[in-house]
């Protein structure tokens, strides 16, 4: 799965959301997250992000911090 990291905070671009074929981005007050169970790992969103906030979960922090945050908030926040 891909994850959204803190570079996304306050970014106003939504290009990633537009290209996702399975609509697995969710929007919170300050950033977007990706639902890890819905992401099909296609990778098309990664180059669309102007702040390089989207990365494969293999490039997450060593403790999997951002994967956990994406997973948690994807369940809480509304679909875009």
The binding site for ligand SF4 (CB under 6 A) comprises: 2, 19-20, 22, 24, 34, 39-45
How far, in Å, are 19, 29, 34, 46, 76 from residue 42 at the CA level?
11, 26, 13, 9, 24
């Amino acid at each position: 799965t891909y994850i959204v990291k803190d570079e996304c905070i306050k970014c106003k671009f939504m290009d990633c959301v537009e290209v996702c074929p399975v609509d697995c981005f969710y929007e919170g007050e300050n950033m977007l997250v990706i639902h890890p169970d819905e992401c099909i790992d296609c990778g098309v969103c990664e180059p669309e992000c102007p702040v390089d906030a989207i990365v494969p979960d293999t490039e997450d922090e060593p403790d999997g911090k951002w994967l956990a945050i994406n997973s948690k908030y994807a369940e809480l926040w509304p679909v875009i």
